[in-house]
Structure 1
Amino acid sequence: MLQQIYGTDDVTPYWIADMDFPIASPITNVMQQLVNRELYSYEFDSQTVFEAISTWNKERHNLDLKPEHFVQVPGVLSAIAMLIRDFTHEGDGILIQTPVYHQFRRLIESAGRQVINNPLKIEGDQYVIDFEDYEEQLKSGNIAMILLCNPHNPVGRVWTKSELQKLVSIAKKYNTTIISDEVHGDIIFDGARFTSIASLDYNNSLTIIGSPAKNFGLNSISNGYIYSDNQMLREKIRATSSSMSLDHANAVTMYATIAAYQHGQEWFDGFLNYTQTTRNWIVDFMAKQLPQVKTFSPQGTNQIWFDFSGLGLKPKQLKALLTLEAKIALTPGTWFGEEDENFYRMNFASPLEKVQASLQLLKSKVG
C-alpha cells in the first residue's frame, strides 16, 4: 500500500490513526486466557460490556449513560453506514464539516445520499465551525442528517460545550438528526474538555461512543457501540442490526473490551500523558525549527494537522520532499476534502524518538 500511495515503501508511516505501541497487559492477559482455554463458544455478555463503558464514561467525563440504551454493532464505520440507511433516504443530503475523516464521504455516497459540505473556518491558530453557512444549509431543507466528528479528525479540535449547544439548537430548529462520531472522545489533552452530544438532551441524536479502538489499539478487533436516550431511534437501529444478525460480538472482542474498560485506566493514562508529551514536542519543534509550516496543535486525537504552503513548493515538489527526501508518509489533506494540496495529517501515536528523527530529517531537507 505504501508503494501504491507514496511511490515508495522506504518511508516511516504516520498515515493511519493506529497507535504504534504494545497494548495494555490486562487485555493481553485476558486474550491469552481465552486462547489457553481452547474454546471459542457463542457468548456475548452485553450487560457487562455496556456497564463497563458506562462506568468508564462516568469516571472520565462525568457522563451518565444508561447501559440499556446501548446498541452493539460490528464497528464504527458499519454503525455510521447503518444509521445513514435507517434515518435518511436515497438522495437526501448529509452534512459534514470538511476537512473531515474521509470515510464519511464514502459511506454517504455509497448509500446513494448527497454529501453537503459545511467547511470549517480557520480563525487564528485553530479551526471553528462556520455557523452561518451551517444554518443556511439546514434552512435549505435538503439536509436530513448531520454527521459530526468530535473530537474532530483531522484538525484536532475538541468542540466546546457552547459550540455544541449552538450546533444542537440550530439542528433542533430544523428537526435534523445528528450522528456524533466520538471514538476519539477519551484522547483529550490538557486545556480541553470533552462534551458528548449524549449529554445535551437532544432527542433526535445518536452517539457512537465506547469503541476501544483508538484508546487501546484494538482497531482490527473492536466493535462499535451506538448510544441514544431516544427509544424510538434506538429500537429502530437495534431492529436493523438484529435483522442482519449483526447484534452479537465474538469472544475475543468481548473479553478485550471488558478488560480495557475495567482494567485499562492506568495504561491509558500513561498512553495519554506520553502522546501529549509528543504533541508538545512536535508543536515546539515546528515553531522553532520549521516556522514556515503552520502547525495546528490538536486539543484531542493523536493526529496533528500541517499546512506546508509556507515552503512555497508545488504539490509534486512537496510530496517528493516528504516521501523521497524526509522519508515520511503523511496523510494527504485532499483525502479529507481539503482542496489545498499543502495540507497533511500526521499520526503521532508512535515512539517519540521515531517522531523526532523523522521531523529532524525533514528539517535537514528543508534547510
Structure 2
Amino acid sequence: MDTFITTNRESFGHKFAKENPHMLQRIFGTNDLTPFWLADMDFPVAQPITQELQRLVNRGVYAYEFNADEVYRAIATWNKERHQLSLKPENFIQVSGVLTGIALLVRELSDPGEGVLIQPPVYHQFAQIIKTANRKIVKNPLKLVNGTYQMDFDDLEQKLQTENVKIILLCNPHNPVGRVWKTEELQQLVEIANRYQVTIISDEIHSDIIYSGHRFNSLMSLDKHLQHISLIGSPAKTFGMQSIANGYIYIPDDDTRKTIKSVVASMYLNHGNALTTFATIAAYRKGQEWVNDLVSYLEKTLAWITSYLKSELPMVKMYPVEGTYQVWLDFRETGLNQKTLADLVVKQAKLGLTPGNWFAKENALFMRMNIASPLPKVQQAFQQLGLVWSQTSDLL
C-alpha cells in the first residue's frame, strides 16, 4: 500500500505528458495548475515489471526476439483467473496500441462513408478515429436514469435502421462515466447488433479496475454471435505502462481474424518490442496482488471524494463509479456557465480536469478527473475547489 501513498512523480525530475507545460498551456491556457486530466497513474509500476525491465537492461543484448505466443498465453491466463473468461491464445493479434487496433478494425470492417456508432459522452479519440478514416460518426447517447447512465436501446435500434451503421464502438468499462456494463445490457446490445449484421468492437482497456459490488463482463463472455465481435485490450491502464505497452486484438471469427492478421503483417505492425513484451508477461503473471492493492486504494479515495462532495460541495455531483480510475463530475447545479466554470476550476482552483465537451458537446458543464494519484494530492485538489467555491458563491 505504501506504493500508492508516498509517490510523488513530480520529484522524478521529468515532465511526463500530463505535466508537460507546453501541453498544459495549449489545453488550459496556463501551466500553473495541478493536472488530473490524462488517464495515467502517478504510481510506480509493480515491482515484477521493474525487475524484468532491469534484467533486460542489465543483459545488455537487444537482439531480435520472438515471444508472441508467450504473451498471448499470459494474457489468456490473466483473464481466466481474474475474470473467469476463457480466451484462446491463437485468437490474439498484437498491435502497437489500443487506438491502433481500433483504427485498423474500423478501416478493415467498414467502407468510407459508412456509419460507426459511438455512445457519448465517450472517449474523445473514438470520434477522431472515425473522422480520419472518412467514416460517418453516428451517436447513440447514453441516458441518465435515476442518477445512472444507461444505454438507450430504442435510439440504438433506430440508428441502426436508418444510418447505415456497420460498426459499434463499445467502451466497457465506460470512459468517462465509469459504468461496467451488466451481462443483460451486453446481451441486448449484441442481439440488436446481430439483427442488422453490425460488428461490435469492444474497448476493454479498463477491465481490471473494477470496484466492490461490481463484476466485469466482457463481450467475449457471451456465448453467441461472437462472429461479429472483436475485443481490444492492453495492460497499459491496469499497470501504468502507457509508454511501454502494446495492445492486442482478440477475434474469435476465423475469417475476420485471418483478414486482420494479413493486414497487420503486411504493415509490419506485429513486431513486438522486447522490453514491452517481457514487461507485459511479468505484469500478467506476477501483478495480481499489486492490482488488488491498487483497486483497494482507489476505493478509499472514492469514498473520501463521495463524503467530501456530500458535505462541502453538494452542488457538484459524482455519478457512481463502477470501474476505471476516472470520476465524472457534474457541475450543472452550480449555476455557472461553461466559461465561468472553466475559470473557477482552472484559474482559481488551479486544477487541470478534462473538459466534459471533449466527450460530448452537450456535456460542457461536466469534467472528468483522474484519481489515480496519492490520496493527499486528490484531497488537496478538492479542498482547493471547495475553498474557491466558498469564496465565489458569496458573489453569485
Task: Report the TM range for the smaller structure's normalisation.
Answer: over 0.9
The alpha-carbon distance between structure 1 residues 187 and 338, as it changes in their structure 2 partners (threshold 3 A), is farther
Superposition misfits of 4+ residues, deviation over 4 angstroms: none
- Partner residue of 1:300? 323
Residue 69 (str. 1) matches residue 91 (str. 2): yes
Aligned to 1:276: 299
Ranges in structure 1 where 5+ consecutive residues have no aligned partner: none
Pair 1:206-2:230 in alignment = yes
String of CA shifts for 1:148-186, please: whole Å, max 9, x gaps.
Answer: 000000000000000000000001111100000000011
1:329 aligns with 2:324: no
Contact 1:26–1:263 (CA under 8 A) maintained in structure 2: yes
Provide the C-alpha distance between the structure 1 equivalents of 2:190 and 2:289, rounded to a whole number of angstroms. 34
Superposition pairs for residues 116-265 of structure 1, below 5 Å? 116-140=138-162, 142-200=164-222, 201-202=224-225, 203-209=227-233, 211-265=234-288
What is the Cα deviation at residue 340 of structure 1?
A: 3.3
Separation of aligned partners in 2, 1:218 and 1:29: 14
Structure 2: state its 5+ residue gaps.
1-22, 391-396
Deviations 1:332-359 (A, max 9, x none): 0111124131110000000000000110
Q: Which residues in structure 2 correspond to 1:30-41 (within 5 Å)?
A: 30-41=52-63
Question: Alpha-carbon deviations, 1:11-60, whole Å to 9, x = none?
Answer: 11000000110111100001011111111111131111011111111011
Work out whether residues 76 and 89 of structure 2, in 8 Å CA contact, stay in contact via their aligned partners in 1.
yes
The AA in structure 2 aligned to 1:294 is: K
What SS does the aligned partner of 2:90 have? helix
Paired letter, 1:186: D
SS at match of 1:64: coil
Q: How many residues align?
A: 366
Shift of 1:141: 5.4
What is the CA–CA distance in structure 1 between the aligned matches of 2:77 and 2:307, rounded to whole Å? Answer: 36
Which whole-Å CA distance do the structure 1 matches of 2:63 and 2:291 have between them? 30
| TM-score with structure 2 setting the length | 0.91
By how many angstroms is 1:140 displaced? Answer: 1.7
* In structure 2, C-alpha distance between the alignment counterparts of 1:247 and 1:143, rounded to whole Å: 29
| 1:279–1:297 Cα contact (<8 Å) kept | no
Tell me how far apart the structure 2 counterparts of residues 259 and 149 of structure 1 sit (CA, whole Å).
26
Letter in 2 for 1:182: E
Is contact 2:121-2:363 (8 Å) kept? Answer: no
* Structure-1 separation of matches of 2:137 and 2:209: 28
Note if contact 2:173-2:324 (Cα within 8 Å) is conserved in structure 1: yes
Query: Which amino acid counterpart does residue 69 of structure 1 have in structure 2?
Result: N
8 Å Cα contact 1:283-1:297 kept in structure 2 = no
2:304, 2:63 → 1: CA distance?
Answer: 47
5 Å-filtered alignment, 1:11-90, equals 11-90=33-112
Does the aligned pair in 1 maintain the 2:355–2:368 contact within 8 Å? yes
Q: How far does residue 315 in structure 1 lie from its aligned partner after superposition?
A: 1.3
Task: Please tell me the residue identity of whatever aligns with 2:25.
Answer: Q
Paired residue secondary structure (2:307): helix
CA contact (8 A) 2:182 2:217 kept: yes
Q: Which residue of 1 aligns with 2:378?
A: 355
The 1-side partners of 2:257 and 2:302 are apart by: 38
Q: Is this contact kept in 1: 2:232–2:250, CA < 8 A?
A: yes
RMSD: 0.9
**1:111-170 Cα deviation digits (max 9, x unpaired):** 000100000000112110010000001112510100000000000000000000000000
- 2:17 aligns with none
> In structure 1, what is the Cα distance between the partners aligned to 2:275 and 2:301?
31
Whether contact under 8 Å (1:98, 1:338) holds in the other structure is no
Q: TM-score w.r.t. structure 1 length?
A: 0.98
Give the percent of matched residue pairs that are identical in Structure 1 and Structure 2.
52
Q: Is the 8 A contact 1:275 1:302 kept in 2?
A: yes
Report the Cα distance in structure 2 between the residues aligned to 1:150 and 1:16, rounded to whole angstroms: 18
